[in-house]
Structure 1
Amino acid sequence: MINYRTYEAEDFLFDESFRQWTTGTSPQAAHFWEQWLAQNPDRAEVTQQAQELIHALNDHYQDDATDDRIELEVKKLMSKAAERRETEQEEETEHPVIPLGQRPWWRWAVAASIMLMGVSTWFYVNRLPKPALDSYEYVTRTVTTIPLEEKVNTGTKAINVLLSDGSVVTLNPNSRLSYPSHFNTSARTVYLSGEAFFDVVKNPAKPFLIYANQTVTKVLGTSFLVRAYYREKEVTVMVKTGRVSVYSQKDYENAQQSGVRRVDGVVLTPNQQMTYNLEENRLVKALVEEPAALIANRPSREQVFEDASIARVFSSLERTYGVKLIFDEDALAACLVNVTFNEENLMERLDVICQTIGASYKVLDGQIVITSKGCQ
């Protein structure tokens, strides 16, 4: 969490939300800074100084702030300062010595220096790459109306973050998580930049929301992975247990503002994943690369089938891995299977079964579709 109490006037100039508040372009920023000043009245003077400088820069340059124009104005000011200095030096032989700080040329030089610093500041402030309106920085510093704590993992190993509701977030390296110290609203909302595994405590009355790089993941209680690094072109959500819904942030917030109860998104169940392409604004549902058994102990992975119908075999696989298998039960009614599985993963087991009954399969929309001509 940013400690604004350590900021000097020039530090506030480089803060996007502070500039938006000063120029009146963001109600959210105004709400945050007015609340912050009410809690930190001793910082009123330094923030006022920063605001005055921002207004001065905007008033002076907003109409014609070209590179050539600003450079010309600075040269003129410095030239005038130099002329004043020469004049004062000539007059010093005829008049008593004037203290340095009171000489007119000295004030011109100071003014020129201040103007030069102001020009540099204006260039820096206005040419900073502005964060996207749905970026982690913008949302956590401007949009949110409650104070947030931030955990940053700069190490090489994952770290655990315990939230106030008992949920645990395993934060991977080069990742950041912002969250309130207490969830006291109708939803449990956190913000992620990077990758983290969430083990969320179930609470149907208070859904858990993860904002991550233009996406919103909504759950009641489950475990899943979210990967949303800032410079990557895709966001990925992979479910281990339970059920989650994933939306584009734009669609989700538009629905909330308009009062629409149903939002178009993607529902994921165990061993399914969602990939959101930021450039195409498209949600794609699929199976994870290596589906895992929902219960990882040895007995659940071991499966023995003796003269078992294909319907029974596929039903067992569905229960073990939580993945939907679609097939023509009537066409495969005569197919019986004798096989024992132990350490094989889901795809390996499907390979064996399909070879046995002369079938094939493909993954489609997070489900597995089996095709076969049947058994004689």
Structure 2
Amino acid sequence: MKYKLYNAEDFLFDESFRQWVNGTSPQATAFWEQWLQENPDRADVVRQAKELAHTLENYYQDNATEARIDSELQRLMHQAAERRDETAEIPVIPLPAFSRWRWAIAASVLVILGLGIGLFIYSSDQIQEKSYAHLTQTAGDSLQEKINTSDQAMTVLLCDGSLVKLQPNSRLSYPKRFSATSRTVYLDGEGFFDVTKNPARPFLIYANQTVTKVLGTSFLVRAFEKEESVMVIVQTGRVSVYKQQDYERSTKNKGQQVQGIILTPNQQMTYNLADRQLMKALVEKPRAIAPDNVNREQFFEDTPVTKIFSQISKTYGIKIIFDEENLSACLVNLTFSNESMHEQLDVICQTIGATYEILDGQVVIHSKGCQ
């Protein structure tokens, strides 16, 4: 019998099954109760179909017209098809002739879901990543915009005293006066920010699907909408970077933990728009945050290597992880003048027979120790 091949969605297309669920036909009720006795192995599928039927009946209890339902469903199906996997060859499915009846419309939705397209219904909880244009147009405050059409950097002074060095082909939107609780700006392009410290009002930069949050520090943000990645490089202070979608969801749902990346001097974050991952690393050429330690010649005579590692860490603001007990017997005689951080680490590791690697924006020393 054909009913043996039905799945939960298929039952919704059967008129007698719908009549049984609604209790509108004694004949249908008698038939399906008898059928269940003869096919006990299909009881679970029928139960699922009945639950779907009741759920959809409640969903469609409003007074929406059939034309409105048809139009809305077709819109949602087109939208779902646009969001499907680019490799999937699933066409937009037109509404069948019997879709005027709301049960058939509901079943069509279920079939689409079964095909894997997915039905995306907008709700108050859904957060969409928004473009620079959309963000600036919908911002609550009246914004002013600076666009750098020259071939040189442009300096923008914000009302709180913060400075932005805006690079060519970049634009920045910001309010004439910041709110009492935050300082929010919008960037499309590249800018170096020197933010005035104010713990009571965090500074927020919305840039190409990311949000950078600081209290007061200096850092660079590169986020051209035409490019496939975003980069944040910290010079001084502490910076937090989030996916825009995660940040907005956490602010909407108070108390929800938001996952991001914390950056300190000489660390950088790269956000690849394709794989949607925040990646932390060291900058290619770390700069000293304590320049006095590198602008003079340094002599180390029978100096514990652990002390030199600690000094390098302080000079560049980069954490160096090592086994202090294991390296306690390692004494070195070295002289540094203008070597970079990597060059210094290379010399030290060669001297004591160690190696190092960069992991998650930190330096990790590998050594068997010294005899």
- TM-score interval, smaller chain: 0.5 to 0.7
Residues 147-173 of structure 1: per-residue CA shift (max 9 Å, x gap):
101010111111110000000000011
Note the 1:239-250 alignment, pairs <5 A.
239-250=234-245
Match of 1:253 among 248, 252, 274: 248
Q: Which residue of 1 aligns with 2:107?
A: none
- Secondary structure of the structure 1 residue equivalent to 2:349: helix
Q: Answer yes or no: is the 8 Å Cα contact 2:204–2:214 preserved in 1.
A: yes
Q: Which residue of 2 aligns with 1:284?
A: 279
Write the letter of the residue equivalent to 2:291.
A
Note the 1:103-252 alignment, pairs <5 A.
133-142=129-138, 144-252=139-247
**CA pair 300-264 structure 1, distance change in 2 beyond 3 A:** farther
Q: Answer yes or no: is the 8 Å Cα contact 1:287–1:367 preserved in 2.
A: yes
Which of structure 1's runs of 4+ aligned residues deviate more than 4 A? 297-302
Q: Answer yes or no: is the 8 Å Cα contact 2:288–2:294 preserved in 1.
A: no
- Give the superposition deviation at 1:334: 1.1
**CA pair 199-302 structure 1, distance change in 2 beyond 3 A:** farther
Q: Which residue of 2 aligns with 1:325?
A: 320
Write the letter of the residue equivalent to 1:306.
E
Deviates more, 1:364-373 or 1:303-312: 303-312
- Secondary structure of the structure 2 residue equivalent to 1:375: coil
- Give the superposition deviation at 1:242: 0.2
Rounded Cα–Cα distance in structure 2 between residues aligned with 1:215 and 1:356: 43
- Give the superposition deviation at 1:133: 4.7
TM-score for the superposition, normalised by structure 2: 0.64
Match of 1:336 among 323, 331, 335: 331
Residues 47-67 of structure 1: per-residue CA shift (max 9 Å, x gap):
xxxxxxxxxxxxxxx999xxx
Q: CA RMSD in A?
A: 1.8
Rounded Cα–Cα distance in structure 2 between residues aligned with 1:266 and 1:303: 35
Q: Answer yes or no: is the 8 Å Cα contact 2:295–2:337 preserved in 1.
A: no
Write the letter of the residue equivalent to 1:138.
H
Q: Answer yes or no: is the 8 Å Cα contact 2:291–2:315 preserved in 1.
A: no
- Give the superposition deviation at 1:224: 0.4
Residues 267-290 of structure 1: per-residue CA shift (max 9 Å, x gap):
000000111111111100110111
Write the letter of the residue equivalent to 2:348.
I
Q: Answer yes or no: is the 8 Å Cα contact 1:332–1:374 preserved in 2.
A: yes
Rounded Cα–Cα distance in structure 1 between residues aligned with 2:276 and 2:331: 45
1:364 aligns with 2:363: no
Write the letter of the residue equivalent to 1:239.
V
Write the letter of the residue equivalent to 2:179.
N
Q: Answer yes or no: is the 8 Å Cα contact 1:155–1:174 preserved in 2.
A: yes
- Give the superposition deviation at 1:230: 1.0
TM-score for the superposition, normalised by structure 1: 0.63
Rounded Cα–Cα distance in structure 1 between residues aligned with 2:320 and 2:178: 39
Q: Answer yes or no: is the 8 Å Cα contact 2:354–2:365 preserved in 1.
A: yes
Rounded Cα–Cα distance in structure 2 between residues aligned with 1:158 and 1:280: 31
Q: Answer yes or no: is the 8 Å Cα contact 1:222–1:243 preserved in 2.
A: yes
Match of 2:344 among 343, 349, 367: 349
Residues 157-201 of structure 1: per-residue CA shift (max 9 Å, x gap):
111100000000000111100000111331000000010100000
Rounded Cα–Cα distance in structure 1 between residues aligned with 2:346 and 2:224: 35
Please state which structure has a larger fraction of its residues in helix: 1
Q: Note the residue ranges of structure 2 that are not aligned, 5 or more in a row.
A: 1-70, 75-127
Write the letter of the residue equivalent to 1:267.
I
Write the letter of the residue equivalent to 2:190.
E
- Give the superposition deviation at 1:302: 4.3
- Secondary structure of the structure 1 residue equivalent to 2:291: coil
Rounded Cα–Cα distance in structure 2 between residues aligned with 1:280 and 1:301: 44
Q: Note the residue ranges of structure 1 that are not aligned, 5 or more in a row.
A: 1-61, 65-131
